[in-house]
Structure 1
Amino acid sequence: MRRRTAIIETALGLAAAVMLCGCAALANATQAGSPASSGSTSAGTAAAELRLGYFANVTHAPALVGVEEGFLQDALGDTRLSTQVFNAGPAAIEALSAGAIDATYIGPNPAINTFIKSGGASAVVVAGAASGGAALVVREGIDSADDLAGTTIATPQLGNTQDVALRSWLSAEGYTTDTMGGGDVHITPTENAQALALFQSGQLDGAWLPEPWVSRLVLEAGAHVLVDEAELWDDGSFPTTVLLVNRQFFDAHPQTVRDLVAGHAASVTWLNDDPDAAAASINARLTADTGKALSNEVLQRALHHVSFTTDPVAAAFPQLLEAGVTAGTAKKGELDGLFALSILNALRADAGEDPVSAGGLGTE
């Protein structure tokens, strides 16, 4: 408890220390015409409430422990935290765009889609959250890409990050797909828990999913991994989850956004510093949100395949956009201004950490 309190107090202190720095960055970006940091050049007012979305997935562990351990609420102070759990990114984006939530943990492809569709007016990425932890798992008898013709494969939702990854990989393997479930391989967007049940009953041949669902299909349903997505990236690092904030909220309440980023950073630090306690906390929050804990075997396997980091791996986003366009789930567009990392990097600097890159697509 003492260590947890120290992490929170440090994050809050650093957030206060970057107040003027963040405001200056906003002002400079506005003068330069950067859409990612346009709007208020003052500290603004703290929001009365921050409505946060996340998924009940291990890839969203910074949100899970941030809520369960109080890192987020403690950092937000008098701003009340309320939460909503989603199954996949497109649904969370609908809520964010409709004003039902103010920020959300989300995969990169839905973040890209909303940014492009709105001409950069909808939301900005303020931090990374997780890297890795996604794979294509299949039934017995499928041992290579050559065995996939005519199969039915699930993804969490049309246009979500795993859906795009599957479509892109199948295209590279010479298969055709379409967004209506046709083509050489039939892709059926399916809620994660239902995908597990359908696979167990033999109605699915496989699924491209995030953790812990990869591990659940492997350990509970006899699936095996055909493609670990990490193998498709040069250094094995790819963004799975980022922290996305509604643009209007970002402009109106920069102080609250700073507090949110500070609480998020504290959650990531705690996850990496105390993995045993983190695993228990993740399971406690999953139980509260879904009514069921993960087995220790599933949880440990899932955590082994996910890295928690505040780096959004911005350099990967143009490739992710290209994959979405090729898959037919995204439109061509510019990503300039998608990232607003000045708050995060000021926190990292005061903590003695190196800055993370916006990949030329926003402020650092």
Structure 2
Amino acid sequence: MKKGLLSFAFLILFAGLLAGCGAANDESATGNKEKIVIGYFPNINHVPAMVAKDQALYEEQLGDGTTVEYRTFADGGAFMTALKTGDVDAGLVGPGPAMNNYTTGADVKIIAGASTGGTVVLAREGVEINSPEDFAGKVFATPAVGCTHDVQYETYLQESGITSERIGGTMKHLPGNPATYSALLQSGKIDIAVAPEPWAAVIEYETGAEVVIPWNEVSFGETLPASVMVTSGKLASENPELVQKIIDAHKEAVQFIEDNPEEAKAITLKDIEETTGQGLEKKVVDLAWERIGFTYEVDQDAVQAFADSSYALKFLKEQPDFTNLIDKQFINSQKTASK
């Protein structure tokens, strides 16, 4: 791996951990927020937040009386902790952490989609994968046990009767930060990397690893949100006008990406470099961009199917019902707050 990308990998984690700390937001006597904190990750699936930040879309929607602060996180667990403690008001996170926390009683609502796709399965150079059966006995890495990418990969293989050692199969699982996958592949410690973008593109360019399950063939690859906009149920019910303004800004960001892809890429490169202190190569972003779609819509059926699969794979102890997890009233609203 190139030195610059290696430094970037570790700085991503460091910057995210630092950003996880912070005080709760102030509230005025009328209940209107004087400060809104938006959380996101410095990766390609979270571009809508980067664009909204760069274009001051939240600030324009919320008005002069509200200060907007942005915080980045290294993983979904850290983000969800901040949401539960009130250290962030809304932001982007993978659907897996949102679902898992909801099943344990967390006050969380998915109020919009943000992106789809972006999960790529790669095999170490020299590892022959010609059919699903070839994954048996291999060591694979995902960001966490039961995370979005883990469930997508294991669902895909379960259809061929291949499962991990966790549930009696032969695949060995090594969860960990995607920033380390290139080194793990090159050292032979893992055979398979199940990587979100931009890590998949970095791995492909820097290690010679081969894509063996493309983003649009892995389970739920084209339908499941890769990232979603969430907030607390309390904020959604007590201050719906504020949440509507957040969603209006989010929708503008998604439209900006569709209308101005090259400018959105430039914003992404700038934001990642400013957040982590290290930049990505343009070719990495270009490749990752081809594997991701950006949308504020959210497929409720896909979310429930994903949850059912999580239960079938024994990541969840009880059959989940996410009827009340997703609240579409804000994305369905035709009213956009005036700027």
**Does TM, normalized by the shorter one, top 0.5?**
yes
Match of 1:151?
138
Q: Alpha-carbon deviation of 1:102?
A: 2.0
How far is the alpha carbon of 1:302 from its aligned partner?
A: 0.6
| Equivalent in the alignment of 1:160 | 147
Structure 1 residue 173: deviation in Å? 2.6
Q: Does 1:325 align with 2:273?
A: no
Residue 205 in 1 paired to residue 191 in 2? Answer: yes
Q: CA RMSD in A?
A: 2.3
Q: Measure how far apart 1:127 and its partner are.
A: 0.8
User: 1:109 touches 1:324 (CA, 8 Å); kept in 2?
Assistant: no
| 1:339 aligned counterpart, secondary structure | coil
Alignment-derived partner of residue 92 in structure 1: 79
Change (3 A) 1:252 1:86: same
Residue in structure 1 matched with residue 238 of structure 2 by the alignment? 252
1:99-124 deviations in whole A, cap 9, x for unaligned?
Answer: 33222311222222222221xx6111
Matched residue, 1:169: 156
Mark the runs of 5 or more structure 2 residues left unpaired by the alignment. Answer: 1-29
TM-aligned CA deviation for residue 346 of structure 1:
1.4
Amino acid at match of 1:84: R
Alpha-carbon contact 1:284-1:293 (below 8 Å) kept: yes
Give the match for residue 54 of structure 2.
68
SS in 2 for 1:340: coil
In the TM superposition, residue 128 of structure 1 has moved relative to its aligned partner by: 0.7
Amino acid at match of 2:92: Y
Query: What residue in structure 2 maps to residue 46 of structure 1?
Result: 32
> What is the distance in 1 between the residues matched to 2:88 and 2:255?
25
Distance in 2 (alpha carbons) for counterparts of 1:277 and 1:234: 29
Measured in 1, the distance between the counterparts of 2:60 and 2:189 equals 45
Identify the match of residue 126 of structure 1 among 111, 134, 145: 111
1:79/1:256 contact within 8 Å kept = no
Please identify, of 329-338 and 304-313, the stretch whose mean Cα deviation from structure 2 is larger: 329-338
Q: Residue 108 of structure 1 aligns with which residue? A: 95
Paired letter, 2:83: L
1:141-290 equivalences under 5 Å are 141-144=127-130, 145-178=132-165, 183-232=169-218, 236-290=222-276
1:58 aligns with 2:44: yes
Q: Distance in 1 between matches of 2:330 and 2:84?
A: 23
What SS class does the counterpart of residue 335 from structure 1 fall into? coil
- Judge conservation of contact 2:202–2:284 (CA < 8 Å) in 1: yes
- Superposition map of 1:16-31 within 5 A: none
| Closer, same or farther: CA 165–234 of 1 in aligned 2, 3 Å | closer
Is the Cα contact below 8 Å between 1:66 and 1:267 reproduced in 2? Answer: yes
CA distance in 1, matches of 2:271, 2:173: 31
**Gap change, CA 1:235 and 1:290, over 3 Å in 2:** closer
Conserved? CA contact 1:87–1:192, under 8 Å:
no
Contact 1:69 / 1:281 at 8 angstroms: preserved in 2? Answer: no
What number of residue pairs does the alignment pair up? Answer: 304
Deviation at 1:95, TM superposition (A): 2.4
Matched, 1:117 2:117: no
Identity %: 28
Which AA in structure 2 matches 1:162? H
The letter of the residue matching 1:100 is D
In 1, Cα distance between equivalents of 2:60 and 2:206:
37
> Structure 2 CA distance, aligned partners of 1:307 and 1:338?
22
How far, CA to CA, are the matches of 1:233 and 1:92 in structure 2?
25
TM-score normalised over the length of structure 2: 0.82
Residue aligning to 1:354: none
Separation in structure 2 between the aligned mates of residue 256 and residue 105 of structure 1, nearest angstrom: 17
Partners in 2 of 1:139 and 1:125 — Cα distance? 36
Distance 1:99 1:184 in 2: 41
Using the size of structure 1 for normalisation, the TM-score is 0.77
SS at match of 1:242: strand
- 1:283 and 1:74 map into 2 onto residues whose CA distance is 23
Greater shift after overlay, 196-205 or 301-310? Answer: 196-205
Distance 1:80 1:158 in 2: 37
The residue number in structure 1 matching 2:281 is 295
